[in-house]
Amino acid sequence: MTHPNDPTLRSFIDVDPTLDFPIQNLPYGVFSTADGLAPRVGVAIGDDVLDLWQLAQDCRIDVAELGVFAASTLNPFMALGPKVWSRVRARISELLRHDNPELRDNEKLRRRVLVPMADVKLHLPIAVSGYTDFYASKEHATNIGVIFRGKDNALQPNWLHMPVGYNGRASTMVVSGTKVRRPRGQLKPANAEVPSFGPCQRLDFELEMGVVIGQSSTMGEMLSENQAEEMIFGFVLLNDWSARDIQQWEYVPLGPFQGKAFATSISPWIVTREALEPFRVNGPEQKPTPLPYLQQTRPNNYDLQLDVDLRAVQMKQAMRICRTNFKYMYWSSVQQLMHHASSGCAMNIGDLLGSGTISGPEKHQRGSLMEISWNGTEPFELPGGGKRTFLEDGDSLALRGWCQGDGYRVGFGEVEGTILPAQ
């Protein structure tokens, strides 16, 4: 059988080479339609969604538990494990091939299992068990360090020795398209003697990737590189909205809290680890050499281009404010997971790991407004007039990402959010 990642594969569904969802991708999501059926599992192919529940009902996909595709999240399917993930993806690829008549020539079945993307509602694809946000881009950490501590003390002493992170809130994880309410909290400007309570004035985004954990680990046990990789089901785009002024006042001594707890947006499609396999690359050289439990034997980064577009409230069209790449991350997703479990922390199916803001070495590769506007000291111009340092009510942000193959791209769609005024 031809491997699902084969760049020569073609589907009987025509997919433009510039679109995100060719046959080499096949990302998973959860969708519903106007037919009144409950949300269920599907796969994106071109401009359509392939209904896996309908395919399983027709005995076209062999899984031990047919109900996993009738679920409103991917957690039950992920629980079946990596061998099943791989087998199901291969079977879907086979059904969609241009030279396989099984689905191509069965018009009645095609009408039942292929739903136009324009006709579906996309839902949060997983039940998020726990959320951990890392701080794993050296460029981002350096920029933030320079802003607050100066060039000579940019990186904290621990940063080059371990992936730094904190436990966030899973309850405010939302799917792309969900509007985000401007948070309120305690604020204390530098010229104020005491704090006040009110709407955030320095609302920011953070361009990240989210790692979806598809298998659990045992409390008290560490993970090898192989074990950590096998536990990763796939990746999503992630925007970890940030209230910089709330965060700046609260974060000493225990770190981010309310400034990060109000919303985190993810894309509706999970691109599988297997689909990203052709795009693996080595990350930056790590000096000093990490401790043995964090050392890697193979490339664990990905050549994954990322864009951020801002449509300010007065603009008709969006403007590009960032273009960077996931390959720049100093600490890989596998290292983050190995470190997370190293204390004996049990990982659960549905855990989500945020990569941390993804910035690159160039100015146009800065993955947050904190960096782009240099903490508000360097406003940027908007087309047609106006400036921005941080987000204003009515502003909309869209994050997009893709890996470029030979004549096709493996993409993530987008994660979009629009800012609503504080209540």
Q: Which residues are catalytic, by number?
A: 140
* Three-state DSSP state, 40: strand
**Alpha-carbon distance values, 423 to 51, 56, 259, 395, 420 (Å):** 39, 45, 16, 16, 9
Cα–Cα distance, 196 to 198 (Å, whole number) = 7
Cα–Cα distance, 286 to 382 (Å, whole number) = 38
Cα–Cα distance, 250 to 82 (Å, whole number) = 41
Cα–Cα distance, 378 to 382 (Å, whole number) = 13
Strand (E) or helix (H) holding 128: none
CA angle 305/310/313 to nearest 5° reads 165
* Three-state DSSP state, 274: helix
Which residue from 281, 248, 237 is spatially nearest to 122, judged by alpha carbons? 237
Q: Which residues pair with 211 in a beta bridge?
A: 235, 353
Which residue from 273, 280, 259, 275 is spatially nearest to 329, judged by alpha carbons? 280
Which residue from 369, 371, 330, 337 is spatially nearest to 351, judged by alpha carbons? 337
Q: From the DSSP assignment, how many helices (H) and strands (E) are in the chain?
A: 12, 26
Token pair of 195 as six digits: 């704090």
Cα–Cα distance, 5 to 90 (Å, whole number) = 9
Token pair of 308 as six digits: 């951020």
Cα–Cα distance, 181 to 114 (Å, whole number) = 35
Q: Beta strand 380-381 with 165-167: parallel, antiparallel or unpaired?
A: unpaired
* Exposure of 52 in the CB half-sphere (CA atoms within 13 A): 32
* Three-state DSSP state, 348: coil
Cα–Cα distance, 170 to 301 (Å, whole number) = 25
Q: Is residue 217 within 8 Å of residue 231, measured between CB atoms?
A: yes
Q: Name every residue whose Cβ is closer than 8 Å to that of residue 339 and which is 6 or more positions away in sequence.
A: 162, 163, 165, 293, 294, 331
